[in-house]
Amino acid sequence: MTSNDEQVTSNEDRRLAAKRKLEARLAAERDRKRRSRNIVISIVSVIALATALTIVWVTQNFLGTVTCEWGKAQDTLADTVKNRANIVGQQPPERRAEANKYLDELAAALPKERTAPQPTSNVPLPFPGSSERFIKTGSWFASAQRPLTLETNRGNLPITLDSTSAPCNTAAIESLAKNGYYNGVDCHRLTNSENLKVLQCGDPTGTLLGSPGWTSPDEPPTDLKKAPGSQDSMMGAGPVIYPRGTVAIANSNRPMMGRANTGGAQFFIVYADSQLSPDFAIVGHLDEGGFKVLDQIAKTPVEKGQGGNEDKPKDPITIKNAAVG
């Protein structure tokens, strides 16, 4: 027979064993629930990530990019020189000597002509609905603004490129700078008329006819103020104010003749508010730190240059290097 002590001990062991089994079963149940919860969280996370990536992909490929149609440059410096006989022949006899001299000047500048690779056609577009205006880079988004520094022999001109108004033309300027197109090139034009005060750069030939071998599409600004007293007419929109510091693309459009999309590598920096037709794509603005240099440049006297350039700076204004970023 067992003693009472042995019976009590046996009952205690059974209770402890039962307690341990219960605790083990509860722990196993908790582990099972935790694993189930983790599986659900993982599945939801994967679905959320896949959804987010799908939204990003759709946004980038359908809302976040624009297809730029680069054109073939026409009436280039080479075209004009090649067409000498026809150009001279169309002039009255008393002006043919002048026409020949003009074409001699163009021919002399032809060896300075440069070409550059055509930019990509799939260009980032400002992210719709974002107050911070993001654009696509790679798989994600970055700011629509990028720094461009023009290191000149007169000092640096820091520029902020901005894709908001003209994504194609901004991408073109960035591509040209990265390919070294502007390095060692003189700014060929400095105007100082009552309504037009700009420094124009980007033509290695200095003739106003230089081209990288392609043209960019028109992306006219839509938010510039009308010039005082101006109004639209049947000839087109009246002049607007391009504010001091604006960086815009020069072109040779002739709307009445159907000539359009003629921008390219040439750009101008406005050193004082200027009046122009609203036809010049805005690609950025000069940073505050560059105005002192620009104002000094604006004092440079001008002379007649090659071809039809009447506003060539007498003292060279040379872009030694153009760097993005």
Q: Which residues contact 169 (CB under 8 A, 6 or more apart)?
A: 216, 217, 219, 249, 263, 281, 283
CA distance 245 to 227: 17
Q: Residue 307 has what pLDDT?
A: 76
Average pLDDT score over the chain: 87
Residue 283's domain comprises 65-324
* Confidence check: pLDDT of 5 > 90: no
For 36-102, list the strands marked E by DSSP.
65-67, 71-72
Instruction: Please report whether residue 53 resides in a domain.
Output: no
Instruction: Please report whether residue 120 resides in a domain.
Output: yes
Instruction: Please report whether residue 175 resides in a domain.
Output: yes
Place 59 in a pLDDT band, splitting at 50, 70 and 90: low
Place 201 in a pLDDT band, splitting at 50, 70 and 90: very high
Q: Residue 134 has what pLDDT?
A: 53
Give 204-256 pLDDT, tens digit per residue.
999 999 999 999 999 999 999 999 987 776 667 789 999 999 999 999 998 87
Instruction: Please report whether residue 47 resides in a domain.
Output: no
Place 6 in a pLDDT band, splitting at 50, 70 and 90: low
* Confidence check: pLDDT of 270 > 80: yes
Q: Residue 7 has what pLDDT?
A: 61
Number of structural domains, the chain? 1
- 80-105 average pLDDT score: 94
Instruction: Please report whether residue 226 resides in a domain.
Output: yes
Q: Residue 16 has what pLDDT?
A: 75
CA angle 215, 325, 200 (to 5 degrees): 45
Share of the chain above pLDDT 70, in %: 86
Residue with the bigger pLDDT between 64 and 95: it is: 95
Instruction: Please report whether residue 108 resides in a domain.
Output: yes
Q: What is the 3-state secondary structure (H, E, C) of 4-18?
A: HHHHHHHHHHHHHHH
Domain with residue 315: its CATH number is: 2.40.100.10
